[in-house]
Amino acid sequence: MGAYNKYDGEHCSHNEILLNNILKKEWGFDGVVVSDWGATHDTKEAIKNGLDIEMGSYTDGLSANSIHGYNTFYLADPYLKALRNGEADITTLNDKARRILRLIFRTSMNRQRPWGSFATDEHAQAARKIGEEGVVLLKNNNILPLDVSKIKSAAVIGENAVRPLCVGGWSASLKVKYEISPLEGLRKIFGGKSNVVYSQGYSSKVPTGVSPEKYCDSLRLEAAKIASKSDVVFFFGGLNKDELQDCEGNDRLSYALPYGQDILIDELQKLNKKVIVILLSGNAVEMPFADKVPAILQAWYLGSEAGNTIAEILTGKVNPSGKLPFSFPYKLSDAGAYQFGKMAYPGDSINVEYKEDILVGYRWFDTKKIKSRYPFGYGLSYTTFNYGKPTVSQRLYTKGDVVKLTFNLTNSGDVAGAEVVQLYVGDKKSSVLRPVKELKTFDKIYLKPSETKEVTLQVPVSDFAFYSEKDKQWIVEPGEFELYLCASSTDIKYKMKIDVK
């Protein structure tokens, strides 16, 4: 699917460089290119520059979903007219038709496919398992997991504890059979053994005709009252997939938590030293409260089984094993794009310059020696893991070889758990700009208490390559490389040097 933006003066849904030259010719892609809704803008470019299927377009002021507008789409009547006038050739049309037929034959025309299922128990179990393995424990000062039998009263605070989060976000919106909220999950796992009381605490929408300041103050006061009388406080905040938070088509206005959540968390932790912050979001947020609260959980948007998954992790029925797929900077100005001025971030609404080059994400923080609050690949567990000293299959490699790094991993704690072991590679001397190190492979290893496993991570030397813009090909330069065995991009357990000839 082509993106909405332009690259080098042409929209991505009909871009000669991206679609024809790179995707279809250089990469040999023989499938279908489809536009995003409203991403097609020109009939001639759509015909010649690689677009095969045009989704909804806003031609003649009609809705992209309007059946009456289909004939006016750029690849509808205007394309037919161009064919009849000789302005478009049949060869290009045949190529589009072949690609679409090829897609049909590979999918819906396959009579050997088994019948599928819809919203079954197996799907729910899969959602739960994915959630259990994806939740990231960011901080834990020995408060988690909680012993349910020792908690008489629990406060659940925050709109996200009850707000449906499968819906919203435009293309991220799902129509689910059911959705277990965090409040439901906690009440279920406490099973009536504790008094679980809910308070909204903050609101994303203020009722019409009500003073916003007074309304928000009243919510905070109610939450504070409940928190002061509870053994533990579960604060469910983060973002919420509305049009200004975690939604396509709009950028967030701030890196901070919205709706006064920071103020509320600060007030709660002054009244109760056992405030556990659970963030439901698809992205990072600023965390001025990180040093004040004893535990923080990044729980993303977990789908139908969200409440059950979160409750089981908080109470230790499931040991968290998720790792961050991107770095959480302390402040927005630490991010690469931000540091290059307005044209790099946020641009002028038409043009954006990608000045950080290849130093995206953790590569930026590593190379520029900027400390992130929580780095790429980071995530805590209820157990601990010891890494044994690694060995490599050889010291000198050729470009056709495979590097094999072997080490022992031990669960040195009291509970079963999983560790994501990560292998990064750094080119010590390169003719082009390269990051200090780049993740090349990883594995998730499950271990019982005191169990040790021998782990081997393999990386083809060809994966050490960079793409040469000058030579239009991938190149592995000879020389010295460094291997980094890590638990995160900044938690380096061992480093080893190898040579490539």
Q: Which residues carry out catalysis?
A: 36
Torsion of CA 371, 374, 380, 384, to 10 degrees: -10
**Rg of the Cα trace of the chain?**
26
45: left (phi over 0), alpha (psi -120 to 50) or beta: alpha
Query: Can you give 333-383 as a three-state secondary structure string?
Result: HHCCHHHHCCCCCCCCCCCCCCCCCCCCCHHHHHHCCCCCCECCCCCECCC
Kindly state the DSSP code that residue 19 receives in the 8-state scheme.
I
308: left (phi over 0), alpha (psi -120 to 50) or beta: alpha
Q: Omega into 435 within 30° of 0, i.e. cis?
A: no
Please give the distance of CA 349 from its chain centroid, rounded to a whole number.
24
Q: Which two tokens stand for residue 255?
A: 């890196």
Nearest to 421 by CA among 320, 499, 494: 494
Computed from CA positions of residues 18, 21, 26, 31, in that sequence, does the dihedral angle turn out positive or negative? positive
Instruction: Write the burial class of residue 381 (CB in 10 Å: 0-12 exposed, 13-18 middle, 19+ buried).
Output: buried
Buried b (16+ CB within 10 A) or exposed e, 362-379: bbbbbbeebebbbbbbbb
| List of residues 6+ apart from 231 with CB closer than 8 A | 150, 151, 152, 153, 154, 194, 274
Computed from CA positions of residues 127, 287, 381, 278, in that sequence, does the dihedral angle turn out positive or negative? negative
What are phi and psi for residue 418, nearest 5 degrees? Answer: -130, 140
**Alpha-carbon distance values, 83 to 92, 242, 380 (Å):** 10, 44, 61
C-alpha to C-alpha distance for 495 and 400, rounded to whole angstroms: 23
**Alpha-carbon distance values, 224 to 184, 280, 370 (Å):** 21, 21, 37
C-alpha to C-alpha distance for 294 and 144, rounded to whole angstroms: 9
Q: According to DSSP H, which parts of 246-355 are helical? A: 261-271, 306-314
Q: Which two tokens stand for residue 443?
A: 């594995």
Kindly state the DSSP code that residue 328 receives in the 8-state scheme.
B
